[in-house]
Structures are given as C-alpha cells and as structure tokens.
Amino acid sequence: MIELLHNPPRFLFLTGKGGVGKTSIACATAVDLARRGNRVLLVSTDPASNVGQVFGQRVGYTITPIVGVDGLDALEIDPEAAAEEYRQRALAPIRVFLSVKDLADVTEQLSGSCTTEIASFNEFTAFLAGNDIAQGYDHIVFDTAPTGHTVRLLKLPGEWTSFLEDGLGDASCLGPMAGLDKTRTTYADALTALADPSVTRLGLVARPQTSSLAEASRTADELAEAGVHATHLVINGILPSEPIPDDLADAIRTEETAAIAAMPANLAGLAIDRLTLRTRDVMGLDALTTLLSETPDHTPALAAPRANTPADSSDSLAATIEQLAAKDHGLIMVVGKGGVGKTTMAAAIAVGLSDRGKDVLLTTTDPAAHLAWTVGEAAPFEVSSIDPAQAVADYRRHVMDTKGASLDADGRANLAEDLRSPCTEEVAVFQAFAAAVEQSAHRFVVMDTAPTGHTLLLMDATGSYHREVVRNLPEQAGLTPLARLQDPDNTSVIVVTLPETTPVLEATGLAADLTRANITTWGWIVNRSLTPTGTTSPLLTERINAEQVPLKQVKTQASRVAITPYRNTPPVGINQLRQLITA
C-alpha cells in the first residue's frame, strides 16, 4: 500500500504544478478508498476539471455516482454555476429596494472573477465545515487546481477569517451583512480542519524533475505560512528500467534519479510514494486500478512496431516564429493547461523574435511561473512578471495617493481597511495585465499565462472591465484590453498542449471558450512529443503509438501546428532555447 493511503484521515487533498497527474491520482485514490467499503466523495476544485474524462462519464456540478465503483460519488465545482447561485443569494434580500439601474450596477459588480472565486470557495469550505452533503461520506478527496490557484484557495480561509474578525466585511464581495456571522463560522471551521493533520492530509504531487520538485517545495512553504502543512509527496511518472539500451531513455532516468536525490529538504522529510510511468494515458477504471502500484504496467523485451510519422518542416517551432515575425508588434498570448510547457514555449518564441531583430517584452500572469529561471540572466530582451503581491502593493499605494489624498484621517483609515480585502488582488492583477497588453501597440509582448482555469477568470475580469467602459465611456471601447485581445491584427493566441488525450481535450475546450469570447486562436504547439525522437525504448515506443490519435485530433482543428520534440531536461537558458527552436 502506498503511504498516501495508509490510515487516511477524512479529508485528502492532492495539489501540485499542472500536468503532474493530480487528477489521475485523486481519482485512483478515491477508487481505492471506495473499494475498501467506504463512502467516498471526489470533489474537483479546478475550474478546468477533467474528472469526468478520466472516468469516461459525465460528472458536472451535481453529486454523480461513478459507474462501476460502489460507494464512490464525484462532483466538479462549476465556477460559473456557483457564481450565479451566489449572485442570486446576494441579490435576493435587496432586490425589492433597488431601482432598475442600481440593481443592474450591483449585478455587474457581482459579475467579476473575484465573485467567481469566492463563490467556488464557499462551495469548497462548506465541505470542510461539515455541510449536510459531507455528512454522508467517510472520506472526501479533493482534486485541486494547479499550484498557484490552489495556494490562493487554501490561504483564503485565513484571509477571510481575519478580514471578517476585524469587522471589515461588507456587501462588495461576501454578500449581505446578515449572512456574515454564518460565513465567519464556516470559514473558521474550514481553517481548523485544514490545519489539523488528523482530519486533513495534504499530498503534493510532482514529476521526477528538478523544476517540478522545486515547485512542490515552494507550495509546501507557502501553505505552511497559512498554517496548512503538507504531509505526503507523490512522485509520479518515473521511467522504469528496461532491458534495451536507449540514449533518450537512459538520459531521462539519469536526470530523474539526480532530481529525486537532490530534492529540497522540506520534501525529503515527507512520506514519499514513487509511481512508475505508464505506457498510455490513465483513463478508465482499469488504468486507475493499477496507477497506484509501483509495478510497471507493461515492459516488453522488444519495442512494439512504431507508428510511421514522416517529418514535416512546416510543423517546426521555427516556422511558427517566422510567421509571427512577419509583423513588427503585437500581443502573443501563450495559453493552455498547467504543466504543458507554456513558460518554455513563450520564452522560446521571445528568443526567436529577438534573434530576428524584434523589440520584445516577455511577461507572465502565472503566479507559479519560472520565466527568469527558464530564460537565464543573459536575456537580450525585457523580462517581467505580474507578481500578485507586488501588484496589490502598487495598487494600494496608488489608490491611497489618489483617492485617499482628499480624505480625512478616518476616511483614509476606512479606505486602507477596504483595500485589505482579498478581492483587491483581482483588480490589481488585472490592471498590471492591462498595462502589459497596452505595450503591444508598439512592440511584441509575449505573455506566458496562468493555467487554463485561472486564465479564464482573468478573461472574465477583462470582459467585465470592457462592459463597464462601453456603458460609461463608449468612445474608449476600442482601446480596452478585451478589444485588443479580440483584434486578430493585434493578438495571436497560441494554445500549447501535450500529445495526450486529456491535455488535447482541455486545450480544445479552451479554444472553444476563447471563440465564444470572440478571441481567435492563431495556432497550436504540441510540446514534448516523443514522435520526432529516435528512441527505441519499448515503453517510450508504446507512448509514441499512443500519441498518434491526439496528434491527429490537433491537426484536424488547427491551421497552424508546431510539434516540439521531447527533451530529457527542460530547455533552460538562451542557447538551449535556440536549440529547441531549430530541433
């Protein structure tokens, strides 16, 4: 039995950087617990959840029994549905007292991404605080959003508890004052449950790679600051030994062994499970049943017949950059699921454009991004990041210096208290995002975005701001960030994915969401493909064969596709990024 499932408490959290296998491991954990005779609820807090895809059935925003597993139910918290319910509850007590205009204004104020986040958070804390639904289950397993969003989610109970205890809560984010006493109790109970290891087990999931383990270490430290301590580490996807020598496979094993041996001290002290790489995507009950085993699922003595995939120069990253470089300026947004390599692709595109003589700003909206580490210190272009903490500090200072300048001491004190609301971060980050987008009018701005769900929340804030400008300053509607995003002459959106079923499905959904927002997808990058490599490893050859279906799915829906080869180590530094471009 793996350590994660040894004497499990009632709540189990699985979190980590995107693409490390959190959802698969959460689903396998829930299946294992249910088959021991427990009543289990699997809850996804990821705005881009794919629990239903893993089980091969529709789940959604209702308690859904999992077919084939007695005692197991699942629920995907739908941010939009949760936000709509939250809005209706907040508006119900005041609807009859407001004019049509005032009601419209309040409704608009409750339409931003902050409301969406708080609504989802209310759903999440209700389980920890022991709501009626939770009472019927022996265990609740949480499949969480990628790291940056999860850290914020888990820190919110403490932030909101402090905010409420100080008497600062008002109707702007939390709803009518009448409900605050109940809210205060719920958040306090949730924080107590999160901080008690006898009640809650928090497992970090990582890949056997230096960057992934470093991310897990940072997550552990940030959560510890909020009083929530990780107890377990799952290292997922370790390449097992094989009887056939292979340069790529041998290099991968060497790199993985070194990364695990040198993992940060705060991870080395946790209970650690090591799971081997599987030959195919973990989809369906059969695959979930074997996932938590340290035994390889299939290691033939000889490689299986390899798919015949002739190379095509038009599929290269260099060809994509050449097309982008035909312009002199513009916004290039690199979007996709966590863990697919958005940061690396954004950095490579910036290097390629800079090498072609373009003025480039490389920036990120991802709180868990590693731009500086990926590019190195010798970048021949500007590199920046939208740091939420710095953005909040700058925003608070600006508001106090402008709006607060004409207030008396009591007014300034009240304004400072209002700016302590966690919702302030939404406004601050959006303003920093808008400032970066503005620069695309005269230079290339290559933007590495946060994982899918968080990016969609940022797009929601962009839309809310645009609607506000259209209503109050219609002459400036064409200058808003959303207007620039919707202009294909200004913005090129590139979707990054992996040659695997689930990432391609999620990328397809993201492209559809952007289309509904009138934002055109310019092209796709399929990253870390084994297909262009010359590996003879039996297991890796099995994975090459499995890549062909998702690769075909991408090519049938995208007019521009670049395929980058799998590398045993992440491309770090300008020279390695250049090699990736020409690979």
pLDDT at 233 over 90: yes
H or E element in which residue 415 lies: helix 409-418
**484 near 469, Cβ under 8 Å?**
no
- Which one is catalytic: 46, 246, 281, 460? 46
Name the CATH topology of 3-80+129-162+188-291.
Rossmann fold (3.40.50)
* Band of pLDDT at residue 299, cut at 50, 70 and 90: low
282 or 121, greater pLDDT: 282
| Domain range summary for the chain, segments of one domain joined by + | 3-80+129-162+188-291, 314-386+428-582
**379 near 559, Cβ under 8 Å?**
no
* Band of pLDDT at residue 475, cut at 50, 70 and 90: very low
pLDDT of residue 232: 95
Q: What is the average pLDDT score of the chain?
A: 79
- Which one is catalytic: 16, 18, 19, 341? 19
pLDDT of residue 288: 84
* Mean pLDDT, range 200-223, rounded to an integer: 88
* Band of pLDDT at residue 476, cut at 50, 70 and 90: very low
Dist CA 351 CA 345 (whole Å): 10
* Mean pLDDT, range 193-212, rounded to an integer: 87
DSSP bridge partners of 477:
none
* Band of pLDDT at residue 301, cut at 50, 70 and 90: low
344 a catalytic residue? no
- Which one is catalytic: 16, 18, 22, 358? 22
Report the Cα 507 to chain-centroid distance in Å: 12
* Band of pLDDT at residue 261, cut at 50, 70 and 90: very high
pLDDT at 257 over 80: yes
Dist CA 430 CA 432 (whole Å): 5
385 a catalytic residue? no
**87 near 175, Cβ under 8 Å?**
no
| 191 DSSP 8-state letter | H
pLDDT of residue 353: 96
* Band of pLDDT at residue 279, cut at 50, 70 and 90: confident
Highest mean pLDDT among 1-15, 282-296, 405-419: 1-15
Which segment of 74-78, 267-271, 444-448 scores lowest on mean pLDDT?
74-78
| 111 DSSP 8-state letter | T
pLDDT at 178 over 50: no
* Band of pLDDT at residue 172, cut at 50, 70 and 90: very low
- Which one is catalytic: 15, 24, 44, 344? 24
* Mean pLDDT, range 484-494, rounded to an integer: 86
List the one residue out of 309, 315, 312, 322 whose CA is nearest residue 352. Answer: 322
pLDDT of residue 453: 45
* Band of pLDDT at residue 294, cut at 50, 70 and 90: low
- Which one is catalytic: 502, 529, 537, 564? 502
pLDDT at 170 over 50: no
23 a catalytic residue? yes
DSSP letter string, 40-93 = EEEEE--TT--HHHHHTS---SS-EEPTT-TTEEEEE--HHHHHHHHHHHHHTT
462 a catalytic residue? no
- Which one is catalytic: 15, 23, 212, 564? 23
List the one residue out of 478, 473, 527, 521 whose CA is nearest residue 498. Answer: 527
**Cβ contacts of 381-384, under 8 Å, gap ≥ 24:** 381/350, 381/354, 384/436
- Which one is catalytic: 16, 18, 21, 341? 21
pLDDT of residue 454: 47
pLDDT of residue 514: 80
pLDDT of residue 403: 80
State both tokens at 517. 């927002």
Which segment of 278-287, 383-392, 538-547 scores lowest on mean pLDDT?
383-392
Name the CATH topology of 314-386+428-582.
Rossmann fold (3.40.50)
* Mean pLDDT, range 80-109, rounded to an integer: 68
pLDDT of residue 189: 75
**Cβ contacts of 184-189, under 8 Å, gap ≥ 24:** 185/129, 186/122, 186/125, 186/126, 186/129, 187/125, 187/129, 187/157, 187/160, 187/161, 188/157, 188/161, 189/125, 189/128, 189/129, 189/130
pLDDT of residue 547: 92
What is the C-alpha radius of gyration for the chain, rounded to an integer number of angstroms?
24
* Mean pLDDT, range 270-288, rounded to an integer: 86
pLDDT of residue 224: 84
* Fold: same for 3-80+129-162+188-291 and 314-386+428-582: yes
pLDDT of residue 94: 67
Q: pLDDT tens, 100-135?
A: 766 666 665 565 555 666 666 677 777 776 666 778
Q: What percentage of the chain has pLDDT greater than the value 70?
A: 72
46 a catalytic residue? yes
Which segment of 49-63, 411-425, 515-529 scores lowest on mean pLDDT?
411-425
pLDDT of residue 143: 87
* Band of pLDDT at residue 181, cut at 50, 70 and 90: very low
Q: pTM of this prediction? A: 0.74
